């Protein structure tokens, strides 16, 4: 059994001043009123172009983000690497329909794939597919709505951009994780990702889809996807997450009058999440599993499944991952035991990373017990260091 309470290992990459900053940050984030006000202020400041970097950069940005560019993330990559924790650099710019912004995001993602191919401590590249497609087209294509001529053009452009990225990943032998976001776009994205797997996963697992297990239909989808991969002889790469947009999804389903795609309760999400891990490990001859979670039970459960199936701790078909700035006690203790661990390290200019930071702030306020746990562990480690 892994001792996630071992804060000496969990925080070994953190200096005393890092811990003090983290304590201040998590105390602030535990107050829902402050987070709510912070969100309103940040959104208002952004809409009128008021600079917020001075407030955000030394605090929440420094804690959750690697830096503004790939090069500026290198010190973070190296510190993690010293403790056998790998990094995945995630260019965290949210989707836009502007062709110039799309092209520059594409070039940046190509650079991140290239960088990963040259850096031992970066085992994967990652991107958000919505950064490369027109949102209206993605929505229409996902419900099989008739497409106008311009939608058809956008659909072809989207396919071509995702193909360019996956082709680069294939040529450079860098596995690439394709994130999941809104339910409204996902059906078309799933279709394109499947095409990419058929094209690039014949010899090894290069392309990974993301399954949000808070969706009622994802366990069945997983089983169908693995069956298709088996029939068609390609490898299946899957990143599991519970899902970050629950409130938004529920609200949209109600507003648009369709069935809520999200599970009725947390227990159902947990049940399907863990069942998906089990099913994947049982199909490890063609599956590579990426366990993206801060949930201690799901992390530990995967280690147990590996043991039951005689899978080596460092088998390259099983990965554990947490977000940079969160749940180091899981990442560092797993890495210490010899498991494959990689932190998602977001990067990008302060202004562009703000929506990501707002999500982290909200997650650390609203997810039951989470801030309490981070804070408790930080205080425990400070006390341990004082009494040393
Ligand atoms: C490496 C990594 C990559 C990620 N990539 C993505 C991504 O591509 N797309 C994405 O959407 N998210 C992504 N996330 C975020 C993730 O979806 C979760 O929001 C976050 O990790 C919290 O879930 P958890 O498994 O860590 O833990 P927990 O704290 O155990 O679970 C919280 C989650 O449970 C679910 N939940 C909570 N209450 C209920 C309820 N009442 N009913 C149903 N479900 C409920 C929600 O999904 C909630 O976020 C990523 C996270 C990590 C660590």
Structure confidence by residue, pLDDT tens digits, 186-227: 999 999 999 999 999 999 999 999 999 999 999 999 999 999
CB 6 within 8 A of CB 333: yes
Tokens (6 digits) for 362: 């909200």
In sequence order, which ranges of 131-260 are alpha helices (DSSP H)? 135-142, 149-172, 183-200, 218-232, 246-256
Domain boundaries, the chain: 1-65+353-388, 72-347
Q: Residue 306: pLDDT above 90?
A: yes
| Closest-lying ligand 1 atom to the alpha carbon of residue 262 | 43
Q: Residue 228: pLDDT above 90?
A: yes
CA of 183 to the centre of ligand 1 (A): 14
Q: Residue 91: pLDDT above 60?
A: yes
- Using CA atoms, how far apart are residues 196 and 167, in angstroms rounded to an integer? 9
Number of alpha carbons in the 13 Å side-chain half-sphere of residue 377: 23
Least confident of 132-146, 282-296, 357-371: 357-371
CB 233 within 8 A of CB 239: no
Three-class SS state of 346: strand
CATH class of the 72-347 domain in this structure: alpha beta
Ligand 1 pocket test target in 126, 243, 270, 272 with most atoms within 8 Å of CB: 243
Tokens (6 digits) for 186: 């996902």
Tokens (6 digits) for 89: 């650099």
> What's the rounded mean pLDDT across residues 366-371?
55
The 10s digit of each residue's pLDDT in 102-126 is: 999 999 999 999 999 999 999 999 9
pLDDT value, residue 195: 98
Q: Residue 54: pLDDT above 80?
A: no
* β-pair partners for 342: 86, 321
Three-class SS state of 290: strand
- Using CA atoms, how far apart are residues 179 and 337, in angstroms rounded to an integer? 28
Distance between start and end Cα atoms, the chain: 26
* Exposure b/e, 117-135, CB count within 10 A at least 16 = b: eebebbbbbbbbbbbbbbe
Q: Quick one: pLDDT band at residue 289, thresholds 50, 70, 90?
A: very high
For residue 51, the Cα-to-chain-centroid distance in whole angstroms is 28
* β-pair partners for 128: none
pLDDT value, residue 160: 97
Percent of the chain with pLDDT over 70: 94
Q: Residue 51: pLDDT above 70?
A: no
pTM of the model: 0.94
pLDDT value, residue 40: 75
Segment (H or E) for 125: strand 125-127
Is the C-beta atom of 250 inside 6 A of ligand 1?
no
Is the C-beta atom of 212 inside 6 A of ligand 1?
yes
Ligand 1 pocket test target in 292, 295, 329, 361 with most atoms within 8 Å of CB: 292
Q: Residue 41: pLDDT above 80?
A: no
Tell me which range, 28-42, 326-340, 362-376, is most confidently predicted by mean pLDDT: 326-340
For residue 200, the Cα-to-chain-centroid distance in whole angstroms is 22
Q: Residue 36: pLDDT above 80?
A: no
The 10s digit of each residue's pLDDT in 249-262 is: 999 999 999 999 99
- Using CA atoms, how far apart are residues 178 and 145, in angstroms rounded to an integer? 24
CA of 243 to the centre of ligand 1 (A): 4
């Amino acid at each position: 059994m892994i001792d996630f309470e071992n804060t000496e290992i969990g925080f070994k990459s953190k200096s005393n001043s890092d811990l003090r900053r983290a304590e201040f940050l998590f105390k602030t984030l535990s107050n829902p009123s402050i987070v709510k006000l912070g969100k309103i202020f940040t959104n208002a400041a952004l809409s009128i172009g008021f600079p917020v970097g001075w407030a955000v950069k030394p605090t929440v940005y420094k804690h959750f983000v690697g830096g503004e560019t790939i090069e500026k993330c290198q010190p973070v990559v190296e510190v993690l690497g010293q403790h056998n924790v790998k990094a995945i650099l995630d260019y965290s710019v949210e989707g836009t329909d502007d062709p110039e912004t799309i092209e520059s995001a594409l070039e940046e993602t190509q650079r991140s794939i290239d960088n990963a191919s040259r850096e031992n401590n970066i085992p994967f590249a990652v991107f958000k597919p919505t950064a490369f497609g027109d949102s209206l087209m993605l929505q229409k294509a996902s419900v099989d709505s008739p497409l106008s001529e311009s939608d058809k053009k956008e659909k072809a452009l989207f396919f071509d951009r995702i193909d360019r990225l996956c082709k680069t990943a294939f040529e450079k032998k860098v596995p690439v994780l394709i994130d999941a976001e809104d339910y409204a776009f996902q059906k078309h994205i799933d279709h394109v990702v499947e095409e990419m797997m058929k094209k690039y996963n014949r010899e090894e697992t290069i392309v990974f889809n993301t399954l949000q297990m808070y969706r009622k239909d994802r366990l069945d989808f997983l089983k169908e996807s693995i069956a298709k991969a088996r029939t068609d002889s390609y490898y299946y790469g899957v990143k599991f997450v519970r899902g970050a947009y629950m409130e938004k999804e529920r609200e949209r389903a109600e507003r648009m009058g369709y069935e809520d795609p999200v599970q009725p309760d947390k227990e159902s999400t947990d049940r399907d999440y863990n069942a998906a891990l089990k099913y994947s490990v049982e199909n490890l001859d063609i599956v590579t599993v990426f366990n993206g979670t801060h949930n201690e039970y799901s992390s530990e459960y995967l280690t147990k499944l590996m043991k039951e199936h005689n899978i080596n701790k460092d088998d390259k078909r099983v990965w554990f991952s947490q977000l940079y700035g969160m749940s180091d006690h899981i990442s560092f203790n797993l890495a210490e035991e010899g498991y494959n661990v990689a932190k998602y390290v977001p990067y990008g200019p302060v202004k562009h990373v703000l929506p990501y930071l707002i999500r982290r702030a909200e997650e650390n306020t609203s997810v039951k017990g989470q801030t309490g746990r981070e804070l408790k562990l930080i205080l425990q480690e400070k006390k341990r260091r004082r009494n040393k």
